[in-house]
Amino acid sequence: MERLYQPDFSSIFDKKYANAFTYGQVDTLVWAVFKDAEKSEILQNLLQLKNSEGREYFYNRKINIDDEKLELYSSNVQLALIQGMDLGREYGIANSDVITVVKKDPKKFIGVLSYNLSNISSYYDLLSDIEKIVKEIKIAGIVLYPTYTNLDLTNNRILNELLPYCKEKNYFIKIDVGNLFIPENNPEFTSYEKIKSFLSKSPENIIVLSGLDISGDFSLYYQLVKYFNNLWLELDPRSIGGMTPTDFFEQLFAIKGFIQNCWHRILIGSATPTLEISQMVRGFLEATENLPFSQKCILRTWAFRNVNRINSSVFPKLEEGALDQYETVLDYEQPYVHESENEVNLVYNIKLRSFSITQLIYLTQLIKEVLSDSLNKFPNSQNGEFFIRTYHTTTSLIVNEHEFGNYLDMHYMFAEITRKDSSKSLHTVRALENRADFNPFDHEIATTYGHKQLTLPIIKRNLEIGSRENFYVLVTFGPRVFQLYIKIKLLK
C-alpha cells in the first residue's frame, strides 16, 4: 500500500531518492559473529566471557551466514550492516571479524568498523588502517563505545581529526551509549551533557545514537533529535527485555512527536545473532498497522531504508544501471514564441509523469526554470504574466507552503480521499470510451481542491508571490503521463 501511494520524495530529499522503493531495506546492526566465519582471538574471548553465575555475557544463537541470509530474505530485508566492537580489551569483535563476514557476500553485507580512540596515538595510523580495509570491503560508518573505552567525546584529538574525514566520505559516526551487560561500564562518558556538547561541535557529521533503553534513557536522549538535525537514532532490541518487539515499537510510536520528528532519521537493527531480524520486522509491521494512514505509510516506506540516504555510493539502487524511471519531467520542449509590437508570448508544453496512484508533485523548481528560460531569451523585459494550466479532469494545481511535513500531510490526505469506497457511485458504470470507470473521488478532489489554472504576475523579472507560496500538481488515478500548458507574456 505504501508503495502505491508514496509521495515524490525528490522535493524532500535528493532527486535520486524520489522513489524510496528503488532502495533496499537494511538491518543496520548485525554483530560479526557466525559459526562458519573465522573468529579473531578477542571474539573468541568475548564468546567465552561469563558472569559470576556462569552465564555468557554475549548471547549468541550460533547461526551460520546462510541462516542469516535466509532470515534477511524472509523479512524482505536486502542488506545488513556487519558491526565490530573494539572495547580496547582482550575481548570484543575485531574489524578482522567484520571483514571476514562481509567478504562472504559483499552484495548482502556492508561493514561498520570499530576503534578504541582512547588508545590510538596517531591519526595517520588510524586513517591508514581504514583506507586499507576500504580496499577490501565497503563500509558505511564507524562505531565507538565511549562507556567501555573511557572516550571523552568532547576532548579527543583523534576523534576531532576523524570527524572531517567521515564527513568527506559520508560515513556515519555511531555512538553506542553502553546498554550492554559487559562489565566495567562508565556511563558518564555518554551522559546527556556529553552527547549534547559533542553534537553541537560536529554539526556536519551524521551522528547515530545506538543502544538506547526505551524504558529508561530513550526519552531523555530523544529530545536532542528536535535540536540537532545531524542526530539519528538506531532502534535495536537490546533494551526490549520484558516486552515484545511489537510492544517496543508501539511504545516508541506513542511518544508524542516521535514519528513527526524521527521518521526520516531512524535506523532499525536486529543485533543478530542475539535476535532475528524477522522478529523486529514483524513487530514493526504489527505496531504500524493501526497508526494513521500517513504515519503508517511514511514509517513503512523509510524506517528500514533511511540509512540508504547517508551514502549513495555505499548503498546502491536495487535497479542499479537502469534508466531513471522516476523523473517527473519527461519532455520540456523549446517554446513557441509569438512576438508583437508591445509584448512577446512564449508557450511551453511540458510532459510529466507520476509514479503512484495518487501523487502531489512539486512544481516550484520547474516554474522557476521555465521563467528563467523565457527571461534569458528576452533580457530587456521586466514585467508580465505567468500562466499555467493542467488539462486533465483528475489533476489540479495546488498552492501551499513547502515545509516537508505540510507537504506530506497534504499528499496523504489526498491519497486517503482517493482510496474511499466508490462502489455506490454512479461513476462505476461502463463509460462511453468502453472501459470501466470507478474513480469518482479522483474527480471530486480535482474540483474541490486547487485550481485548473493559475495566473501569476511577473514584476521586475520575478514572480510576485508570497514568501511561503510553492506550487504543486495533484495527480490521481496513476501512475500516468500528463501535460501542463504554460504561457509567459512579457511586456516590452
Instruction: Specify if 210 maps to a domain.
Output: yes
- Say whether both 139 and 33 belong to one domain: yes
- Say whether both 386 and 237 belong to one domain: no
- Find the CATH number of the domain harbouring 399: 2.60.120.460
With beta carbons less than 8 A apart as the criterion, state whether 115 and 142 touch.
yes
**Which residue, among 32, 99, 110, has the nearest Cα to 77 in the 3D structure?**
110
Interacting residues of 16 by C-beta distance below 8 A, sequence separation 6+? 312, 317
Instruction: Quote the distance between the C-alpha of residue 489 and its chain's center.
Output: 41
Gap between the Cα atoms of 491 and 375, Å rounded: 11
With beta carbons less than 8 A apart as the criterion, state whether 357 and 351 touch.
no
Instruction: Specify if 2 maps to a domain.
Output: no
**Which residue, among 297, 92, 293, has the nearest Cα to 180 in the 3D structure?**
92
Domain residue limits at 303: 24-310
SS3 219: helix
- Say whether both 404 and 351 belong to one domain: yes
H or E stretch including 354? Answer: none
- Say whether both 247 and 379 belong to one domain: no
Instruction: Specify if 291 maps to a domain.
Output: yes
- Say whether both 296 and 155 belong to one domain: yes
Instruction: Specify if 94 maps to a domain.
Output: yes
Give me the number of domains the chain comprises: 2
Instruction: Specify if 141 maps to a domain.
Output: yes
Q: State residue 219 phi and psi, 5-degree precision.
A: -60, -25
- Say whether both 252 and 343 belong to one domain: no
State in Å, rounded, how far the first CA of the chain is from the last one. Answer: 52
Interacting residues of 305 by C-beta distance below 8 A, sequence separation 6+? 20, 23, 24, 25, 26
Gap between the Cα atoms of 437 and 431, Å rounded: 6
Tens place of pLDDT for every residue, the chain, 492 residues? 999 999 999 999 988 899 999 999 999 999 999 999 999 999 999 999 998 888 889 989 999 999 999 999 999 999 999 999 999 999 999 999 999 999 999 999 999 999 999 999 999 999 999 999 999 999 999 999 999 999 999 999 999 999 999 999 999 999 999 988 899 999 999 999 999 999 999 999 999 999 999 888 898 899 999 999 999 999 999 878 789 999 999 999 999 999 999 999 999 999 999 999 999 999 999 999 999 999 999 999 999 999 999 998 899 888 765 556 788 988 888 899 999 999 999 999 999 999 999 999 999 999 999 999 999 999 999 999 999 999 999 999 999 999 999 999 999 999 999 999 888 888 876 666 777 788 999 999 999 999 999 999 999 999 999 999 999 999 999 999 999 999 999 999
Instruction: Specify if 191 maps to a domain.
Output: yes
- Say whether both 456 and 333 belong to one domain: yes
Grid coordinates representing 465 are 508571490
Task: Give the other-Cβ count within 10 Å of 291's Cβ.
Answer: 17
Supply the pTM of this predicted model.
0.94
| Domain final residue, candidates 250, 279, 310 | 310
Instruction: Specify if 9 maps to a domain.
Output: no
- Say whether both 412 and 281 belong to one domain: no
- Say whether both 348 and 291 belong to one domain: no
Instruction: Specify if 196 maps to a domain.
Output: yes
Task: Give the β-pairing of 172-176 and 207-210.
Answer: parallel
- Find the CATH number of the domain harbouring 249: 3.20.20.140
- Say whether both 337 and 273 belong to one domain: no
Tell the residue number behind the cell numbers 470510451, with chain if given.
433
- Say whether both 306 and 446 belong to one domain: no
- Say whether both 116 and 234 belong to one domain: yes
With beta carbons less than 8 A apart as the criterion, state whether 383 and 460 touch.
yes
